[in-house]
Amino acid sequence: MEEHQLVIILDFGGQYSHLIARRVRELGVYCEVKSYRTPPDVLRALRPAGMILTGGPNSVYEDGAPRCPAEVLRLGCPVLGICYGAQLMAYLAGGEVALAPRGEFGGVTLERTGPETALLAGVPQSSTGWMSHTDYIAAPPAGFAVVVRTDSCPCASMANPEAGLYAVQFHPEVQHTQCGSAILENFLRRVCGCAGDWEMGGYVEQTVAALREKIGNRKVICALSGGVDSTVAAVMVHRAVGRQLTCIFVDHGLLRKDEGDQVEKICAETFDMNFIRVNAQDEFLEKLRGELEPEQKRRIIGETFIRVFERESRKLGKVGFLVQGTIYPDVIESGAGDSAVIKSHHNVGALPDVVDFDEILEPLRMLFKDEVRRAGLELGIPAALVWRQPFPGPGLAVRILGEITPEKIALLQEADAIFREEVAAAGLAREISQYFAVLTDARSVGVMGDGRTYDAVVALRAVTTSDFMTADFVPLPYEVLGKVSSRIVNEVPGVNRVVYDVTAKPPGTIEWL
């Protein structure tokens, strides 16, 4: 990407930091999230076109509050402060920040006042915004003009165009702010001068070229789970170095119906990869025999995966690189404003300890999940795989309550496949963030034909979410639920009742285990 297109998101631990970055990229501008601890010299060397200071849970005047040096406001690029970032800008520039007489949370009416600014171009005199603050800017710094107010907040936005400094107390990145997208676009294009032409095709080409140069003639190995992230990472590396890459796919037998075969077909046939499929279903089932506790199931699956992968990888000898499907949210420590080490994951976290390699390759580490999918399409991966539903690492083990048996796995695979088929047939697949079936450990009395049954209960789950931190259940049409229920009880032996989960997150989680 071109240097002038880079915008830095300086993270102070706000819950919406990732969302700000996603909104910026959606507007065609490449951005990266950096910790507020990043030295000004390092930031200056990146030659950013602009910088955004995020929200955060602290008060700027408290001891130990996350603060960057005032020099950050003088790096030669425009700066936009959001919520805590707005208060910090005021504090660093010599203004006054204090506990508000009354906090503001939720929707408010924003009233424009003061001089016209490029940040608010096209924004109406009155609009709605989303607030979440108990502190406020009691006195703007010298050189700043108040340009937006609310009934409870005398400085909802301030600006010093000559210095390139802008601040908003509200959150333009959330959908609840009526003109939020326009405000962000104004900052990026009108204030920072960004062209807004960053796109995934160019990013993929540049990443592939960089991988080719870095890898050279060395061998690469990838632990392929079959999920979207690891598959896109593998295809991207394969595009760069071809059959220097070997993918090891450990099939633990807990995938969705026919999924293992689909992964093998795409990798081995469509892309002609060096592909090793290890059918380890019996080994995993034996290890899981009699286990009821969810966390123990996860631990057993994780450890067994590592042991199986270790056995196979040793056959290849020393390799130059290990590929991992780490994506951007994995490398940003949640709510702390710092980069974190690679997330602990059943098929990733411990692999560096058991594989003989020189370096880790993470070709997706700067991409969000939706961007990974777009990269997959650019690479030619079939849309059916790219848009597959999120799937937990331990697979169906976290969707089978009680002991895991071959019979239960087969039952749930069929029920889940029917649910996914009917959601797709109703044209709802892309409108739902995640949907799946769960095999409960309950049994119920039913009537089939002239006899009574005592069979399993299957629960259906469908949620909508933007970040998977919170989620709401989807009010699926009754005709869809009715058809799914009818098909499951008639086509899946051993099931006589289907229920629908209408729990939000919180208080529930998306997965049952």
Q: What are phi and psi of 91, to 5 degrees?
A: -65, -45
Contacts of 77 (CB under 8 A, 6+ apart): 48, 49, 50, 51, 164, 192
Query: What is the chain's percent helix, strand, coil content, to nearest 5?
Result: 35, 25, 40
In angstroms, rounded to a whole number, what is the distance separating the alpha carbons of residues 502 and 116?
A: 47
Nearest to 227 by CA among 369, 64, 78, 425: 369
Q: For residue 401, count other CB atoms closer than 10 A to its CB.
A: 18
Residue of 171, 238, 252, 346 marked active site: 171
Strand pairing class (31-35; 357-361)? unpaired
Contacts of 107 (CB under 8 A, 6+ apart): 128, 129, 130, 131, 176
In angstroms, rounded to a whole number, what is the distance separating the alpha carbons of residues 484 and 482?
A: 6
- As to burial, measured by CB atoms within 10 angstroms (0-12 exposed, 13-18 middle, 19+ buried), residue 3 is exposed
Nearest to 487 by CA among 389, 400, 396, 417: 417
Residue with tokens 């602990």: 344
Residue of 31, 68, 83, 155 marked active site: 83
Whether residue 192 lies in the annotated active site: no
The strand ranges marked E within 72-178 are 79-82, 96-112, 126-139, 145-149, 157-160, 165-168
Q: Containing H/E element for 490?
A: helix 478-491
Residue of 104, 173, 371, 422 marked active site: 173
Nearest to 397 by CA among 300, 279, 303, 493: 300
Contact indicator for 270, 304 with CB cutoff of 8 Å:
no
- According to DSSP, residue 400 is labeled B
Q: For residue 93, count other CB atoms closer than 10 A to its CB.
A: 20
Residue ranges in 248-365 assigned as alpha helix (H): 259-264, 281-288, 294-314, 328-331
Strand pairing class (79-82; 50-53)? parallel
Catalytic residues: 83, 171, 173
